A and B are shown apart, each in its own frame.
Chain A
């Protein structure tokens, strides 16, 4: 099954989902096409006029362009998802997951699709990590 992960570039979630026999829907895969295409000069910083139109499917016109731009990449992943795992308390100030509003919107769109969702926190100690891995395993095995 295809699992949408949040943060969408998470190493931990990508690895765990793959390890337990499912296909993670990640940002890296979605960006691969863009960064290897000759049409975009400095991806993923640039977006095409087509992207702007596509973004309207997921975010209204008055939504800031940064959110709409990100939703162009996240949106199709959400559409494909059979289930989702959210990891809260991410270091949001880092990299391309730096937009909290996009993350909120993406989570809302996943919830609207009524697919099974597992919400977790980033582990801060051994006990929490054990619980997190156990829950991920149970959740993914339950989907089969």
Chain B
């Protein structure tokens, strides 16, 4: 495959009002030379690097702090990965975990945008033995 072709995942944070369908339609209307595929978390875009970057830029304007993106190794609809062809998706659990955290990252981006200096968060402590004993008792009952 041409190295100038890029595949990108565009994620919509769980707090956004946008839907994958709306983004897919928006990208179609842009008229860029890219392929778009709707997914449960957003869309997958594939095409020449420049066109993909431009598309991402336009999509991001819709909701700057709630649209996230990363490149993908496998092309769109690759039979080894595409669920329509019973492909496996071993990395999806990781994506799902990070997708859930996007609403937290969004708060961070808003904070940075406003030039606010966040307070130092509390250090994560270890689970006290009393708490652990309580959990064990609950489970063993």
Contact (Cβ within 8 A) A11 B99: yes
Chain B residue at minimum C-beta to C-beta distance from A137: B112
Q: Which of A14, A15, A35, A97 contacts B73 (CB 8 A)?
A: A35
Interface size class of B (residues with CB under 8 A): 35 or more
Main secondary structure of the interface of B (DSSP, over half): mixed
Q: Is A36 a contact of B108 with CB atoms below 8 Å?
A: no
CA distance A97 to B90 in the complex (A): 10
Contact of A134 among B7, B74, B108 (CB under 8 A): B108
A96 with B91, Cβ < 8 A, contacts A12-B98, A26-B70, A42-B80 known: yes
Closest to B71 in A: A28
Q: Which residues of B contact A (CB under 8 A)?
A: 1, 3, 7, 9, 11, 68-75, 78, 80, 90-95, 97-99, 101-102, 104-105, 107-109, 111-112, 117-122, 124
The 3 closest A-B CB pairs, nearest first, are A133-B108, A129-B104, A130-B118
Q: Which residues of A are in contact with B by a Cβ distance under 8 Å?
A: 7, 9-12, 14-16, 18-19, 26-36, 42-44, 91, 94-97, 121-134, 137
